[in-house]
């Protein structure tokens, strides 16, 4: 039984979509209801900055992978029978 690696990419992209939805939902509420202090500004921009850095680093690693390759699963079971 073989699985294409692109399946893992789609699962990862689903997690990224949920993360971005959560991020935009929270940013909307922060902007809508206002910032209350310097720390609110600082933490908001730190969160945005670190999120962008994390997404960029993950893109660098993901871009190097050949997603058309396959992964063999349960190969030893087929040899036993």
Residue 81 confidence (pLDDT)? 61
Q: For every one of its 81 residues, what pLDDT tens digit does the chain have, with 9 covering 90 and above?
A: 788 999 999 999 999 999 999 999 988 988 888 778 888 889 889 999 999 999 999 999 999 999 999 888 777 666 666
3-state secondary structure of 33: helix
What is the number of domains present in the chain?
1
What is the sign of the dihedral through the CA atoms of 47, 50, 52 and 54? negative
Q: What pTM was estimated for this model as a whole?
A: 0.77
Residue 80 confidence (pLDDT)? 62
> Which residue range is the domain that position 25 belongs to?
2-80
Residue 46 confidence (pLDDT)? 95
């Amino acid at each position: 039984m073989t699985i294409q690696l692109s399946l893992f990419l789609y699962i990862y992209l689903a997690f990224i979509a949920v993360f971005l939805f959560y991020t935009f939902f929270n940013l909307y509420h922060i902007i809508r209801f206002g910032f209350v202090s310097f720390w609110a500004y600082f933490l908001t921009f730190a969160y945005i900055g670190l999120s962008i850095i994390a997404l960029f680093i993950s893109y660098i690693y993901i871009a190097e992978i050949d997603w058309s390759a396959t992964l063999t699963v349960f190969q030893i079971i087929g040899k036993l029978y």
